[in-house]
Structure 1
């Protein structure tokens, strides 16, 4: 079974980025994938200072180990000032090639204004730099305050269809591109 880890780059309560991440996770699970969401709002992570270890922050090790064991990733970020949130950038900076190389990744950005692809392009560059594989399908949700109903469900059928295509692409691409896990890791996964 394909194991995907989702990471949302927003600390805001009732975050649209988190809602979009949960929507993508639900679509992947319907297709037979396994998804674990690491909620950075519930983790205590330091600012990355380039250290190899952060012994006073056990959540750093949890982040690194969870991502290392995954076959693929979903990264969801709000777009702040034309780029990714500092929260998701810091989480990615706390990892290295050991965790991120070879990870098949789907990208989601959420904006309060008109949709664009700045944050998506920046995440694509970051993942390419650490030798990850980013799927071509991506989701940019503009005017996010109109995209979800009060229960966190998508209100636009075309956007819902994009989430379906996104999930299908991430699952199939991960099955094709994710490096084979050694036998000891397959049993643990």
Structure 2
């Protein structure tokens, strides 16, 4: 099974990256017999989508390959002005809608507060539905002032457990769909 963790934050100091790093480390340990990859949109330059006929650089092509080859995606996104990150939106613009049919995704949504979190979950579910990707209905929501200290470290151990559960359930869903 190919598992991909995606950090959709473009910021250098990122709460979302803290969360996706935890999930990546956990998946490498828990699913050691599987291929576990990490795509950090803050460090891997995915070119702005300008159409399928454009010739994109190697980094963009590598990111597209990671997404299209993954069977499970655990997608982390910050909430910006009630929307998912532009990095996530741009990444999926590069993907042919037929390439993800039947795959599975889970979501990690980091916001400053709870107001826009469900809205962004709805955006992610709609995006994945377009690609015919099955989604885990149980997302992990975190809030800057509630779950992190001033240095950006996760201080809520229950969130860490929820992240692990998200990974296990999402991979489990993919396994059940293959049966």
Alpha-carbon shift at residue 154 of structure 1 (Å): 3.2
Separation of aligned partners in 1, 2:27 and 2:43: 23
Q: Are the structure 2 counterparts of residues 112 and 101 from structure 1 closer, same or farther at C-alpha, using a change threshold of 3 Å?
A: same
Q: Which residue of 1 aligns with 2:13?
A: 14
Stretch deviating more after TM superposition (51-60 or 12-21): 51-60
Alignment partners' CA distance in 2, 1:9 and 1:20: 11
What is the TM-score normalised by the length of structure 2?
Answer: 0.86
Post-superposition Cα deviations, 1:42-69, rounded to whole Å, max 9, x if no partner, equal: 22322222x2243242222212211222
1:184 maps to none
Q: Is it true that 1:140 corresponds to 2:146 in the alignment? A: no
With 34-43 and 77-86 compared, the bigger mean Cα shift is at: 34-43
**Cα shift at 1:150:** 7.6
**Alignment-derived partner of residue 31 in structure 1:** 30
Aligned-partner SS, 1:136: coil
Check the 8 A contact 1:76/1:107 in 2, yes or no. yes
Shift of 1:77: 0.6
Offset, 1:157: 2.7
| Greater than 4 Å deviation, 4+ residue runs | 149-153
Deviation for aligned residue 1:102: 1.8
Q: How large is the Cα RMSD of the aligned pairs?
A: 2.2
Deviations 1:59-97 (A, max 9, x none): 222122112221110111100111101111011111122
Query: For residues 124 and 167 of structure 2, what CA distance do their matches in structure 1 show?
Result: 18
With over 3 angstroms needed to count, the CA separation of the structure-2 counterparts of 1:17 and 1:57, relative to structure 1, is same
Tell which deviates more after alignment, 29-38 or 121-130. 29-38
SS in 2 for 1:164: helix
Equivalents in 2 of 1:30, 1:43: separation in Å?
Answer: 24
Instruction: Check 1:98–1:57 CA distance in 2 against 1; reply closer, same or farther (3 A cut).
Output: farther
Gaps of 5+ in 1: 180-189
Rounded to whole Å, the distance in 2 between the matches of 1:99 and 1:64 is 10
Taking a change above 3 Å as real, the CA distance of residues 17 and 62 of structure 1, as seen in their structure-2 partners, is same
Task: State how far apart, in whole Å, the 1-side matches of 2:118 and 2:86 are.
Answer: 17
